[in-house]
Structure 1
Amino acid sequence: MSAETPVCQLLERQDADYRGWLWVAPPRDAWLEEGERALLAADQAVLEAWQERGRPAHSPFAGEPPSPPGVVLFWPKAHALGEWWLLWLCAYLPAGTPLQVVGENQGGIKRVLKVLAALGLGCRKLDGARRCTLFESRLDRVGLDPDAAWTTFEAEGLTLASHPGVFGHGKLDDGTRLLMGELPGVLPDRGEVLDMGCGDGILAAWLARRGLATTAVDVNGFAVEATRRTLAANARPGEVLAGDVYTTLPGRRFDAIVSNPPFHQERSIDYGPAGRLIREAPDHLRRGGQLVLVANAFLPYPDLLEAAFGGFEVLADDRRFRVYRASKR
């Protein structure tokens, strides 16, 4: 099978034996998944796809890291996240391990030269094509702890953990703020509530502070870890799960689902996760349960809500964001 994405097409043309190598934070591409390689990723959807095919898949937050003959890091749009991955690899994999870093030119891959130089790691350009560039280097101990990337900030009387690559990194998102202003008037006084797409955990901690039994889910492993740290920092209980929308919640139902769902993947708009969130919500709500979500005003969620619930209401609209509520009859 041929590579599908530009970065993988660049790798496919290399005269290199990647057997046993570790792909780090890659996109979905069947060419990657069919070879004799292993995955290291924080994206639960990618992890599940590899696991379903019986391929080795690892999270940086679980278990011992593998010791591969080489590593390919797919440079993310968030440069601070890319720097974290480099620090993590240098801290946990053997010094001298061959490293390749690949990414799209528009995504800032050429900045890698300065990043590697700042870490004292040599680097050279290996190839360029498909508007992508491939660099090569070797891992080494750099004396910097990747955990230093974790920070905290205060919002709504809560202490929030934050990490590069987590939605709303270091600040309270305006859409979430609008959503939180509407929740006290519509949520039950008690019951089980699901925070879908939990990000830094502000909604989960806020719900738990109100005495609601809270479950939080996110596809991003960094968000899952951030929410766990946020709940701990505020001494609040809650269950936090890594999952691709409802994949880790088979058969479970809640009194309410709240969400500020994502709608983009890297630079492309993607309604997929939010569409699944809305379409499948009735299957995860008790009778009379409600879905309350905030979204950019231009997104076509009314049609999805109408199809899934047979009706909905707009609780707030500030022209940038809208808060929707739909109830299971």
Structure 2
Amino acid sequence: MSAATAALPRPRPLVTLPGVYSPQDDTWLLLRALYREDLTAGAELLDLGSGSGALAVRAARRGARVTAVDISWQAVLATRLNAWLSGQRVTVRRGDLTAAVAGRSFDLLLSNPPYVPAPGARRPRGPARAWDAGRDGRLLVDRVCDAAAGALRPGGVLLMVHSELCGPEDTLQRLSRTGMRAAVSDRALVPFGPVLRSRLPWLRSQGLLAQGQDKEELVIIRAEHP
């Protein structure tokens, strides 16, 4: 555990299901960024890719009106159960990113999308959908960037977490092209997890990791709709 993540509040999901992403360092980093935002009571928040619902439940506890979206039925069920067991009201939708909330706009958008580069051209299936994101790791990151401005109200904020392996500068530039004011607000070095360890030779062959590197940098991208 890195020093940057050690002090974060650690929500423990009451329900976990097979195939649903369990909260990890990226979750805690995004949660810390969320806690810095001025989340007024009744603010409308969209959690894209809710997984277990850890972030959605915490946002609801702060008084936000939360809508959580995930394409996985297991994640939808986990989020609903965790919200209910925590006594929090969260609207949960199954769908493909913002298509599940078409026509709506929000004050805050959270996203912890899949971002791990993966060999092969086939789209991930099963549990791997929670982390594999194409050869450059940007299969979902780019789509969140392109959808964010249309899902946010003026003054609304996107908070998105991903790894150095999929190009934070590319994310900043892509968001800027949509009119958003974007910057890296947080960084944290974390040890490799089992997925990265399992594909170290491939990642190194692609020039994504240096020989001897044993940690990856996670970043929070904060972008504001003017």
**TM-score, length basis structure 2:** 0.71
Shift of 1:277: 1.3
Among 224, 242, 255, the residue aligned to 2:76: 224
User: How far apart in 2 are the matches of 1:217 and 1:166?
Assistant: 13
Matched, 1:173 2:43: no
Matched, 1:306 2:176: yes
Matched, 1:286 2:137: no
User: How far apart in 2 are the matches of 1:201 and 1:310?
Assistant: 27
2:53 aligns with 201
User: How far apart in 1 are the matches of 2:133 and 2:154?
Assistant: 36
Among 3, 9, 33, the residue aligned to 1:182: 33
Q: In the superposition, relative to structure 1, how do residues 193 and 309 fare at CA in structure 2: closer, same or farther (>3 Å)?
A: same
Say if 2:66 and 2:89, in contact at 8 Å, map to a contact too.
Answer: yes
Deviation string 1:119-176 (CA, Å, 9 cap, x unpaired) is xxxxxxxxxxxxxxxxxxxxxxxxxxxxxxxxxxxx83544311111112xxx31011
Matched, 1:321 2:188: no
Say if 1:158 and 1:234, in contact at 8 Å, map to a contact too.
Answer: no
Q: In the superposition, relative to structure 1, how do residues 296 and 268 fare at CA in structure 2: closer, same or farther (>3 Å)?
A: closer
Aligned residues: 172
Among 260, 274, 291, the residue aligned to 2:141: 274
User: How far apart in 1 are the matches of 2:77 and 2:105?
Assistant: 24
1:241 aligns with 93
User: How far apart in 2 are the matches of 1:255 and 1:161?
Assistant: 28
1:162 aligns with 16
**Unaligned 5+ residue runs, structure 1?**
1-154
Q: In the superposition, relative to structure 1, how do residues 237 and 311 fare at CA in structure 2: closer, same or farther (>3 Å)?
A: same
Deviation string 1:89-110 (CA, Å, 9 cap, x unpaired) is xxxxxxxxxxxxxxxxxxxxxx
Q: In the superposition, relative to structure 1, how do residues 233 and 189 fare at CA in structure 2: closer, same or farther (>3 Å)?
A: same
Q: Which amino acid aligns with 2:151?
A: H
RMSD: 1.8
User: How far apart in 1 are the matches of 2:31 and 2:108?
Assistant: 14
SS of the equivalent of 1:261 reads: coil
Q: Which amino acid aligns with 2:105?
A: R
User: How far apart in 1 are the matches of 2:13 and 2:66?
Assistant: 17
Say if 1:214 and 1:238, in contact at 8 Å, map to a contact too.
Answer: yes
**TM-score, length basis structure 1:** 0.49
Q: In the superposition, relative to structure 1, how do residues 165 and 253 fare at CA in structure 2: closer, same or farther (>3 Å)?
A: same
Q: Which amino acid aligns with 1:183?
A: L
Say if 1:312 and 1:327, in contact at 8 Å, map to a contact too.
Answer: yes
Shift of 1:278: 1.2
SS of the equivalent of 1:247 reads: helix
User: How far apart in 2 are the matches of 1:164 and 1:158?
Assistant: 16
Deviation string 1:214-268 (CA, Å, 9 cap, x unpaired) is 0000011111111001101101001000011111211100000011111353466
User: How far apart in 2 are the matches of 1:239 and 1:295?
Assistant: 25
Q: Which has the higher contact order (CA 8 A, sep 6+)?
A: 2
SS of the equivalent of 2:99 reads: coil
1:105 aligns with none
Deviation string 1:19-64 (CA, Å, 9 cap, x unpaired) is xxxxxxxxxxxxxxxxxxxxxxxxxxxxxxxxxxxxxxxxxxxxxx
User: How far apart in 2 are the matches of 1:296 and 1:275?
Assistant: 13
SS of the equivalent of 2:74 reads: helix
User: How far apart in 1 are the matches of 2:219 and 2:30?
Assistant: 8
Q: In the superposition, relative to structure 1, how do residues 187 and 278 fare at CA in structure 2: closer, same or farther (>3 Å)?
A: farther
| Bigger Rg, which one | 1
Q: Which amino acid aligns with 1:323?
A: I
Determine what percentage of the aligned residue pairs are the same residue.
31
